[in-house]
Amino acid sequence: MSAVLNLFDSSHALAKKAYRRFVNEGVHQPSPWDKVTGQIFLGRPEFLERIERLVRGQPLANVPTVQTRPIRPSSEDVLTHVAETYRLDVEAVLNRSHRDAYQTAVYLLRRAANEPLQTVALRFRISPSRVSKIQKAIEMVSLSPQQVRAFAKCKVKN
């Protein structure tokens, strides 16, 4: 503990006071873990972009795919991008009221956000095999103009 206190002040009494103030200021702050991307990255967008450039094209044996894309969009980002592209609210995408938007979201949640198959299936109340069929169908046809825009927002090439 003395090594930590020395970071705050060389005087033990002042260091304890500064440490206590530091902890109290952080108690009601949002958790930094909420901002972690790709399971391991924490930092400003510029830092994440720099890391992604450094990783791109490198042989990464035994590194999970999710850890190779620090600027991968979150699931919430994907749903927001799809909803905005189709001029819907996120709830309309999730309740499948617009077929193309919902299928685009299913595909991008898997490809862009790297959301697990089962999670996507539960989110849309469909079977995992249906998720797979949607993915395959989107990969077999030309994209609609809205899909092209949603894919670009999520940085997915098809």
pLDDT score at 64: 78
pLDDT score at 34: 76
Query: Which of 98-103's residues contact partners 24+ apart within 8 Å by CB, and which partners?
Result: 100/144, 100/146, 100/147, 101/146, 103/134, 103/137, 103/138
Q: Please indicate whether residue 55 or residue 76 has the higher confidence score (pLDDT).
A: 76
Query: Is 0.85 topped by the overall pTM?
Result: no
Mean pLDDT of the chain: 89
Angle at 13 between CA 8 and CA 19, to 5 degrees: 35
- Residue 105 reports pLDDT greater than 80: yes
Of 137, 85, 79, nearest in space to 109 by CA? 79
Specify the length of the chain in residues. Answer: 158
Cβ-based neighbours of 137, under 8 Å, separated by 6 or more: 103
Q: What are 107-156's pLDDT values in tens digits? A: 999 999 888 999 999 999 999 999 999 999 999 999 999 999 999 998 88
Angle of the 99-111 helix axis to the 117-124 helix axis, nearest 10: 160
Angle at 87 between CA 83 and CA 92, to 5 degrees: 55
In percent, the amount of the chain with pLDDT more than 70 equals 98
